Each structure stands twice: as C-alpha cells, then as structure tokens.
Amino acid sequence: MKVLVVGGGLSGGMLSYFLKSKKHFKITCWEKSRGLGGRAATKRSSTISGCQADTGLQYLTRYEKSVRHDEIYKFLFDKGVISKLDVTNIANMKPGSEKMQHFKAINGTNTIAKTLWEETNAEVIKLQKLKSLDYSQDQVVAENEQGEKENFDLVVLTIPPPQITRDISFTPPIEKKVQETIDQVKFSARFALVYFFGGDYDIDSRVAASYAANRDDAIVYWNIDEAKRFGMDTEKNFRTTMFHFKKELYKDLTPAEALPKLQEHVAKSFPKLPTPAEAVPHRWLFSQVDQKYPDSQV
C-alpha cells in the first residue's frame, strides 16, 4: 500500500514511525520546506559555527501514559535525541509543572522529527508542496505545485487545518459541513527572535529560561540556548538567546519590518545585553492552537 504523508513535522514523523511495522506499507513524505521538523524548528547561525536555537517547540512535556507513548519516548531517549530537562532552571512555569516529565532535545528540537523519519525508511521529498488531491477514483491522485502527479492508496494530512482549506484543492470538494468545521480551527501568530553572539556574553540571569511574569509583557518567554540544552553549569560558552513574543504582536509585519521593533522590546527588558553578531526574526503564522478541532484530543 502506497501512503503519502503530507508534512514532515512531529505528527507525520510519529505516524510514520508506528506505520513502519506494517511491512506492506510504502511511505512517502512531502514536505514543503527545506528541512524536517515543522514547528519543532532549529535555527543555526549562518555566520557563527556551533550556534543554534529552537525557534518553535522548546521542549517535550509528557501528558499521556500509554504503551505507544512509552515506546516513542524510550526510542528517542535510547537514541540520545532527548534527555530529562531540569525545570528548576526555568522561571515562572505553570504551577504543577515540576510534577510532570519534561525532555530537552540535546541537539535541537528538529532532530526529534529527523530521527523519527530516519527510522521509518520513508521516502522524504523536501520542497514538495501539495497542490491538489483527486480521490474520485479507486486511488488518490496527489499533484504538487509543479503539476507532477502520483497515485497513492492513502493520503494523510499532518499540516495545520487552515493550510488544508487554503492551499489544497479537492476533487470532489470537501463536504460543506466538514469545511465549516475545519474553518473553526484557529491558530495564533507569533514572532520569535534569535540573537547569536560571537562569544560569551552576560545576560544577567540565574536561570536558563523564563516565562513572563506579567501577561502584558511583549516578551512571553526567553532562553539561553546552551544553558537550556546543557545546564547552567556547562563549560560551554553562552552564545545564543531566543525570545518568544506575545501572540499577534506585529502579525501583519514582515520579519524585516518587525525586527527593529522586536529589538526595542529586548533592549528594554535586557538593557545589559550587548549587540548581537546576528539577529534572526522568525514569524510563526501557525504558532499555537487558539481554537481546536471539535472533539479532538490536541
């Protein structure tokens, strides 16, 4: 059976990981971007070797207990992809967070998705964006933006619902009721900003990361990447800081337009922080779910 998984993020990776035991399944992944991970994205400096930061997902929090959850966490742990996160080094977490299990990705959160996909032996095609699906016959015909078509027995969409109705045409069209339900799903937009420094710097902090104590703050979360991944006592230099801003802030601006405004907020909150060697903004159009699909578990 030929299976097409649209989206190379964590959802698609985990789905394919569990499908790999089905020997008669041949899995193909179409990912529209250059890399795997989706919102588990890791940005690496283009000018400073060894500097990186997670711009989306920051760490894993285990909410479910099941055989499959045990398997996936054990696999990632045994592979050295994740390790336990010391949340005492993160300020202003939600009450009760210390009672839950949290895991950090030692080499960046995008390695979680990469490792899952590598394990599946799937054919991963990057820079491949789905344009249309025709499921009027026995097989599903998938067409990319270049007009190339391929037949599949099953197609699974693991992308944000707004992208499904915005970017993909269906033959026959999606039922009106289903379309209306998908359209109810709402995501918030959010900017992330990464500062790469040429050498060690002082951020005047005793913690590796912090959530905002005040909801009105423009910066809702920040971290020292090296401290988050290796601990505050690491011998590695602190060379990277990442900031998340409150949702919808400057959502109509391009990253280039928003950059100076975001930097003003950073300068106000961290006046001792030196000028970075490289400042990289990233706009998440689909950052977090504000209104989920009815009756869904996520």
Strand order in the sheet with 149-152: 149-152, 140-144, 130-134, 169-171
For 10, counting Cβ atoms within 10 Å of its Cβ (0-12 exposed, 13-18 middle, 19+ buried), the class is buried
Question: Which residue bears the tokens 């070797």?
Answer: 49
pTM: 0.89
What pairs with residue 60 in β-bridges? Answer: 103
Residue-number span of the structural domain to which 197 is assigned:
186-291
Look at residue 33 and tell me if it is in a domain: no
For residue 53, what pLDDT is reported? 95
Per-residue pLDDT of the chain (298 residues; tens, 9 = 90+): 999 999 999 999 999 999 987 888 999 999 999 999 999 999 999 888 889 999 999 999 998 888 888 999 999 999 999 999 989 889 999 888 888 999 999 999 999 999 999 999 899 999 999 999 999 999 999 999 999 999 999 999 999 988 998 899 999 999 998 888 888 888 889 999 999 997 777 776 788 999 997 766 899 999 999 999 988 777 677 789 999 999 999 999 999 999 999 999 999 999 889 899 999 999 998 888 878 877 665 5
Give the Å distances, CA to CA, from 223 to 93, 187, 192, 238.
13, 23, 11, 11
| 58 neighbors 223 (Cβ within 8 angstroms) | yes
| 266 neighbors 21 (Cβ within 8 angstroms) | no
Look at residue 246 and tell me if it is in a domain: yes
Look at residue 148 and tell me if it is in a domain: no
| 177 neighbors 198 (Cβ within 8 angstroms) | no
- Per the rule left: phi > 0, alpha: psi between -120 and 50, beta: everything else, 127 is left
Q: What is the CATH number of the domain that holds 265?
A: 3.90.660.10
Look at residue 259 and tell me if it is in a domain: yes
Look at residue 116 and tell me if it is in a domain: no
